[in-house]
Structure 1
Amino acid sequence: MNILYWSIIMLMFTVAFIGLIYPIIPSVLFIVLGFILYGVFFTFESFTFLFWVIQGIFLLLLLSADYISNVYGIKRRGGSKAAVWGSTLGLLIGPFVLSLFGVIIGPFLGAVIGEKVFGKKTLKEAVKVGVGSLFAFLSSTAAKTVIQAIMIGYFFITV
C-alpha cells in the first residue's frame, strides 16, 4: 500500500511541474495536496509549525513570481497595463490553441496585441514589449521551477 500512496504523492508533484508548462494547472495546489496526502496516508507529525511557515513563504514567492516578473519585464520595455493583461491572457489561452508552442508564443502575442490595440503603440514598440513579456515568462518559469524543487526537496528532508 505504501507504494500506491507514494505514487499518488509523486503524481501530485509531477502535475505541479506540468503546471509550469500549462499555467491553467494550479501548481501550488498540487504541491500542497501532495503534502496533505502524505499526512493523510502516513502522518502529519513531521509537519511542524516551522515546516508550514517555510512552505508558506515559498508558496507566496511561487504565487507572486509570475506577476512580478511579468510586470517588471513589460514595464522595463515601456509597456502598459494592456500589455500585462494581454500577456496574461496569451499565457492562459496560448497552450490550448498552439499546444507547447502556445506557452512561448502566447505571452508574446498577447503583449503585442494588448499594446497595439489598447496601448496605441507602433508595431515596433509593441514587439519590443512582447519580447520583454517573453523573457519575463521564461525567467519566471525558471524561478518557479527552482522554488517548487526547493519546496519538494524540503518536504523530503522533513519526512
Structure 2
Amino acid sequence: MVALDILGWVLVIALFIVGMAGLIFPILPGAVAIYFAFFVYGWFFSFNELTVWFWIIQTVILVALIVADYVVSAWGTKKFGGSKLSIQLSTVGLILGPFIIPAFGLIIGPFIGAVIGEMIHGSNFKQALRAGWGALLGLLSSTLVKGILQVVMIVVFIIWIV
C-alpha cells in the first residue's frame, strides 16, 4: 500500500470518528464530517465508484439528519410545554454543557437551559422541570436518530465502495 493510500484511509476514518464524536460533543461537525470523508475518499482514490445515486442518497440522509436534529430536540421541549425561550436556552445548554460540566454536561446542559428558559418565561418551577425533562427526552431521541443515520451513511459508503 502506498503512503498516500494510507494517508487517505487515515483521513477518511478520522472524519468518521469526528462525525460519530459529534453525537457526544455537539460543537463537532458530526454528519458533515462524515459527508466530507466521502470527498476525501474521492480525492485520494477515485470518484468513479461514488455515482450520482450515492451522492443523492447521502445528501438526502445529511439533510434529514440536520432537520431531524433541530426538530426532534425542539419537539421534546415543546411537547412538554416548553416555551420558545426554553427551546433556545436548551440549545445553548446543549452546546455549552459538555465544556462547562465535562462528564455530564451534554445531558445536564439542555435540561438546565430549558428550566432557566421556562423560569425566565414566567412558568412555575413544576412546569420548568417538565420542560427540562422534555428537552432531555428530545436530546436523547435526537441523538439516537442522528447516531442511526450517521451509521447508515458510513455503511452505505462501505457497501458502495466494496
**1:3 shift after superposition:** 2.6
Match of 2:46 among 40, 43, 46: 43
Task: Provide the residue aligned with 1:145 in structure 2.
Answer: 147
- Percent identity reads 44
Task: Provide the residue aligned with 1:21 in structure 2.
Answer: 24
Alignment size in residue pairs:
158
Task: Provide the residue aligned with 1:106 in structure 2.
Answer: 109
**1:75 shift after superposition:** 1.4
Q: Using the alignment, how far apart are the partners of 1:70 and 1:33 within structure 2?
A: 25
Check the 8 A contact 1:112/1:126 in 2, yes or no: yes
Match of 1:95 among 95, 98, 101: 98
- Structure 1: unaligned runs, 5 residues or longer: none
**1:134 shift after superposition:** 0.2
Letter in 2 for 1:120: G
Check the 8 A contact 1:16/1:31 in 2, yes or no: yes
Using the size of structure 1 for normalisation, the TM-score is 0.96
- Structure 2: unaligned runs, 5 residues or longer: none
Check the 8 A contact 2:73/2:141 in 1, yes or no: no
**1:66 shift after superposition:** 1.9
Match of 1:4 among 7, 12, 15: 7
**1:67 shift after superposition:** 1.2
Q: What secondary structure sits across from 2:23 in the alignment?
A: helix
Check the 8 A contact 1:62/1:147 in 2, yes or no: yes
The answer as to 2:55 corresponding to 1:55 is no
Match of 1:79 among 77, 82, 93: 82
Check the 8 A contact 2:32/2:62 in 1, yes or no: no
Q: Which has the higher helix share?
A: 1
User: Runs of at least 4 residues of structure 1 off by over 3 A?
Assistant: none
Cα RMSD, aligned residues only: 0.9
Letter in 1 for 2:41: Y
